[in-house]
Amino acid sequence: MLAVAVCSAPFLAWAQGTVVGGIYTCVDAQGRKLTSDRPIPECLDREQKVLNPSGTVAQKIGPSLTAAERAQKEAKDKQEQEANNRTAEDRRRDKALLMRFPNRAAHDRERAEAVAQSVAAAKVAVARLSELGVQRKKLDDEMEFYRKDPTKAPQYLRRQVEENNLNMDAQKRLILDQEEETKRINTRFDAELVRLRQLWPPGTH
């Protein structure tokens, strides 16, 4: 009985949702045409037709899938859904890109503004670094009196030298960061431009 129950489980699950009152017909593996008032177990692996009393086809059912086949189908369906989602997301992104940049002039203008901000930040850092350089020269001149033994320099002087070193290092890092930011900006706009050239109508680029 246990074996029958286990074997019947896929069939029972498959039979759910079938048409009540219809006539089921199919051709089994031996070529026999079978009919029944309920889903036919012998045709579990193939399509069954459900006929109206008039003899017309009301519904087609099956074939049933094994657990492995269902898992494979679910995996395939998931992949297709993910692909559809990516396609939809790409379309949304393209639409947003076109709304933001309807033509080449708009894209060039925003690129120039973004680059200008990064370059301006780098210039501020360069100017600050120059100021720190002047300050450092004065500190070095004072430290010259303690060249043989810097540990004898006053605490305030040593602290100023240390702070100057830290500030100069910070400005140098800021300059490098802004240079990298300018590269990232241009790389992003270059990639956008490639895509926009494919989306823009002729004459806009």
**How do residues 26-60 score in pLDDT, each as one tens digit?**
998 888 999 999 888 888 878 899 998 888 998 88
Residue 183 lies in a domain: yes
Of 106, 56, 90, which Cα lies nearest the Cα of 195? 90
pLDDT of residue 25: 94
Residue 11 lies in a domain: no
Kindly tell me if the per-residue pLDDT of 12 is higher than 50.
no
Kindly tell me if the per-residue pLDDT of 74 is higher than 50.
yes
The reported pTM is 0.59
One domain, residues 57 and 96 = no
Quote the distance between the C-alpha of residue 70 and its chain's center.
28
pLDDT of residue 42: 84
Residue 139 lies in a domain: yes
pLDDT of residue 139: 95
Residue 99 lies in a domain: yes
Residue 77 lies in a domain: no
One domain, residues 129 and 187 = yes
Residue 127 lies in a domain: yes
One domain, residues 25 and 102 = no
One domain, residues 95 and 180 = yes
Domain boundaries, position 171: 91-199
pLDDT of residue 62: 76
Residue 3 lies in a domain: no
Residue 196 phi, psi (nearest 5): -65, -35
One domain, residues 170 and 104 = yes
Residue 75 lies in a domain: no
Q: Is 123 helix (H, G, I), strand (E, B) or coil?
A: helix
